[in-house]
Structures are given as structure tokens and as C-alpha cells.
Amino acid sequence: MSGAGSAPQTRYTGRFAPSPTGPLHAGSLVAALASWLDARAHAGRWLVRIEDVDQPRCVPGADTVILHQLATCGLVPDAPPVWQSARGALYQRALDQLVAQGHAYPCACSRKDIEDAQAALGHARERHAALPYPGTCRHGLHGRAARSWRFNATDFKQKSAPALDGKAQAATDLIANNTVHWTDRRLGPQQQDVALTVGDFVLRRADGLWAYQLAVVVDDADQGITDVVRGEDLADNTPRQILLQQALGLPTPRYLHTPLVYAPNGEKLSKQNGARALELSDPVQALAGAAQVLGLAPPKNPQAGVQEALLQWVAAWPRNYNGAP
């Protein structure tokens, strides 16, 4: 997408990007609050993007509910929200560029095809884990009809990509010996061999919908995002996104992955495991619960309103999450 997105911005720009599969819950409020606090602590902009690219999972009206919940908590974006479902032309342009550069190819494999191919290699799928794509269609469809499009992570060679004037991780030396290296502002140095761990990953699905990895990379670049603050469960998406940024000639933001909230059964709190919608009759109390997960003290004033509480946490934020741009 060289030249297709907005020019890199020098001012800190962060975002919160919920999927409208239901109302915000306690776990998603942690990510929302963290991203808002990080932007405010750095005198930056904070945007909201509704990630409704996976339409079958979206709940009608959930986007409106989410925006109302954020406003109730004093988390108001600095520009009108955008919806991924209206941005398909940008994603198609990016895919066309990747295909033209030889970084993407059509794939005819179903999920069962991949499991059968891995089983033939003696690999069994672990619970909650997808098997790495074995590269069946990397060098041709062999007469089969294409179902999806994949990024060629195995044969990818690092390109030179722009940095954001020190407000993003440097785009040099991100990939060495087929391994993606990056530094998370909370988790520290990270690395992953994408080809070995994930394989050639999907860019456009068999049902015609755009894959999260491509959409988020295109959107972050188009909106000039300098810092991505999101839940720790999304950390393993980062290396795939860095590969796409490099291939498309886009800046690599800095990343901060926040602590998670867990359900009583020990699993990450999520809409899929029955997380309840936020109780916002007392928004300060809800925010204080999210702040506690982030290591921030409750409001000093027991009678504090939303704005007073938020100002306290903005002032305290750099002590817990330093590394200001």
C-alpha cells in the first residue's frame, strides 16, 4: 500500500478497536481505558475503530451500545469512529499490491485439508490451537478452485519500511533468520518464526470476508496509528502484522499489550465464555476495576466523578507504563 494510506503522522495517535459481537465487558474496558490513558498521557489523539469485518459474528446494534458505554466512562474519541465494513476497497488495494509483489497467493485448501496434511506429517492439532499451514498451494492450485488468499510468510524477504520519527519501533532489523523480533512496551523483547508457528496465513477468507490481520494493518496505517495498546491475548498477532507492514511498505507502530481479566474457570474473560456486559450504574466503580488490573490505585477522592478519576490515572500512567514517544 505504498502511497495508498495516509502519510505517517508525527503526533502520537492511538486507538481502541472493539469487535461489535456484544457489549463491552470488564476485560474490554481494561483495553479501552489503557489505550485512552496512554494517548492522554502523551498528549496524543485517541480514535475508535469498530472492527466489524467478521460480519457473521457481529450483533446488530452492538456498535451503538459500545460507543454509548465508552461515552458513559468518559472515553470519547477525538474523531468520528470508522467501521471496517465500509473499508473493503482499501483492503482490496492492499491485497492487489501483495499479489503483484509475489507476497500473496490463492489457496484451495479447506480446514480439513490442512488437518489431513498435517496428520500425514504426524502433527496433531492441540485444543484451541490452529495447525500451521503446510504450504500445499504455495506453488500452484494443481487444478483446484481457489477458496482464499494467503500471505507467503515462508518466502518473505524483509523490505525497508518507514519509521514514525521515533514514535514507532524502528523498521530495521525487525526480521532476522526468518524470525520476527519486536519489543513490547510491557512484555519486553519478543520473537516468533511466523513460517514455523503459523505458516502462510489467510488474508481473505473462503467466505469472501477480509481476515483480521490484513484489515488491522491497513487501518492502522491509514489512520496514522503510532502506538497500539491492546490486550495481551493479541500479542501473538503482532509478528504477522509486522510482516504485512514490511511487505506493504508501511510503518510499524509501537506495541503495548495489557494484562487480561480472567473468568472464574481460569480462561480469559470474553464474550465467547459468557462475560457479562459492563454494569455502568456507577461508571467510576467500573473504571476503578479496570484501573486496578492496570496497576493503578483507586481515586484518592471517594466522591470523585469520572473526569477527576481519569485525570488521576493519566498522571499516574507514566510511572507504570513508561517509554514515552
Nearest alpha-carbon partner for 318 in 36, 42, 14: 42
Give me the pLDDT at residue 124, please: 56
Residue given cell 492496570 in the structure block? 294
Kindly tell me if the per-residue pLDDT of 128 is higher than 90.
Answer: no
Q: Give the pLDDT band of residue 21 (cuts 50, 70, 90).
A: very high
What confidence tens digit (pLDDT) does each residue in 145-158 have? 999 999 999 877 65
Dihedral sign from CA coordinates of 277, 283, 289, 293: positive
Classify residue 60: in a domain, yes or no. Answer: yes
* Whether residue 240 has pLDDT greater than 70: yes
Is residue 129 in some structural domain?
A: no
The residues pairing with 244 across neighbouring beta strands, listed in sequence order, are none
Q: Residue 296 falls within a domain, yes or no?
A: yes
E strand spans, 177-249: 179-184, 188-192, 202-204, 227-231
Domain that holds residue 223: 13-87+150-320
Burial 166-176 (b: 16+ CB within 10 A, else e): ebbbebeebbe
Does pLDDT of 46 surpass 50? yes
pLDDT at site 170: 47
Residue 140 resides in a domain: no
> Would you say residue 2 has pLDDT above 80?
no
Grid cell for residue 311: 485525570
Q: Does residue 26 have a pLDDT over 80?
A: yes
Least confident of 94-98, 106-110, 152-156, 194-198: 152-156
Q: Is residue 208 part of a domain?
A: yes
At residue 325, does pLDDT exceed 50?
Answer: no
Q: How far apart are CA 223 and CA 211, in angstroms?
A: 18
257-303 residue pLDDT tens: 999 998 777 777 776 666 788 999 999 999 999 999 999 999 999 99
- Among candidates 34, 19, 15, 14, which has minimal Cα distance to 290? 34
> In this structure, is residue 64 part of a structural domain?
yes
* Confidence at residue 176, expressed as pLDDT on a 0 to 100 scale: 67
Core vs surface per residue 117-133: b (16+ CB within 10 A) or e: bbeeeeeeeeeeeebbb
pLDDT score recorded for residue 324: 44
40 found inside a domain: yes
**Number of structural domains, the chain?**
1
Q: For the domain that residue 271 is a member of, what is the CATH number?
A: 3.40.50.620
